[in-house]
Amino acid sequence: QVTLKESGPALVKPTQTLTLTCTFSGFSLTSAGMRVNWIRQPPGKALEWLAHINWNDEKFFSTSLKTRLTISKDTSKNQVVLSMTNMDPVDTATYYCARSYSGSGGWFDSWGQGTLVIVSS
Amino acid sequence: EIVLTQSPATLSLSPGQRATLSCRASQSVSTYLAWYQQKPGQAPRLLIHDASNRATGIPARFSGSGSGTDFTLTISSLEPEDFAVYYCQQRTIWPPGYSFGQGTKLQIK
């Protein structure tokens, strides 16, 4: 059974850096074709893909946010970490991690429950 | 960046009726399109991938069609648990990337 769970601060101040961790089980990020993605959703709004990291450590980012994002993995801990710099109130959102796998077309077939991050002073 | 436009924004129907949701891409995405269902307080769930393929465990009343720029999600006979928000998503092969539509809220009439 594939599971993912996001963790991190619920509240961050403007200009601070947000660091979120996705801890997963049921698959390995060393398996060819595997990816972990980050997606966010402001309250009442649509989904926005942020970044993903591949099994071979390739990293890809949303064009609009690439200067603010970093992503890394720790395969020994089954974790992926996303950092976003210079947080602003407009970054208030639920942040999700999700698995994708080239064997299933690269779509997001398993998601975490999400973690709400509020940006406020 | 490819923009996905969903219509209608809200659809009000009764259980047992047929639902038709649309997604239009600003340029061709071939069949690289998926549909997700999201219920309040929950993460999205993959329903349809590659335009017309049902994901594992998805009931046969859900079907997808289309290619290029115009896509449709059809729910043949609405069940009470189908009332939710539906998002379409496209993926770009290179460089890898994704975008979502703004969603269609399917509500009980």
Measured between beta carbons, which residues in chain A are less than 8 angstroms from residue B99?
Answer: 49
| Mean pLDDT score, B10-19 | 98
B48: part of which helix (H) or strand (E)? strand B45-49
What are the DSSP E strand ranges found in A1-121? 3-7, 11-12, 18-25, 34-41, 48-54, 59-61, 69-74, 79-84, 93-101, 108-111, 115-119
- Tens digit of each residue's pLDDT (9 = 90 or more) over A35-77: 999 999 999 999 999 999 999 999 999 999 999 999 999 999 9
- Distance between CA atoms of residues A113 and A94, nearest Å: 9
- Tens digit of each residue's pLDDT (9 = 90 or more) over B46-83: 999 999 999 999 999 999 999 999 999 999 999 999 99
Mean of per-residue pLDDT scores for chain B = 97
| pLDDT of residue B94 exceeding 90 | no
Q: Are B71 and B33 in contact (CB under 8 A)?
A: yes
Q: Are A97 and A38 in contact (CB under 8 A)?
A: yes
Q: Which amino acid type is present at position B45? A: R
Measured between beta carbons, which residues in chain B are less than 8 angstroms from residue A96?
Answer: 43-44
- Residue A36, strand partner residues: A53, A99
What is residue A33's predicted lDDT score, i.e. its pLDDT? 93
Measured between beta carbons, which residues in chain A are less than 8 angstroms from residue B100?
Answer: 46-49
Interface test with B, best of A66, A97, A108, A109 (most B CBs within 10 A): A108
| pLDDT of residue B93 exceeding 90 | no
| Mean pLDDT score, A12-31 | 97
Q: How far apart are the CA of B73 and the nearest CA of chain A, in angstroms?
A: 17
Task: With CA atoms as reference, report the closest residue to A39 among A77, A84, A74.
Answer: A84
- Distance between CA atoms of residues B54 and A35, nearest Å: 21
Contact A113/B at CB under 8 A = yes
Residue with tokens 């079907």: B63
Q: Are B11 and B105 in contact (CB under 8 A)?
A: yes
Q: Residue A96: phi, psi to the nearest 5?
A: -115, 145
User: 3-class SS at A36?
Assistant: strand
Q: Are B47 and B62 in contact (CB under 8 A)?
A: yes
- Tens digit of each residue's pLDDT (9 = 90 or more) over A94-117: 999 999 998 778 899 999 999 999
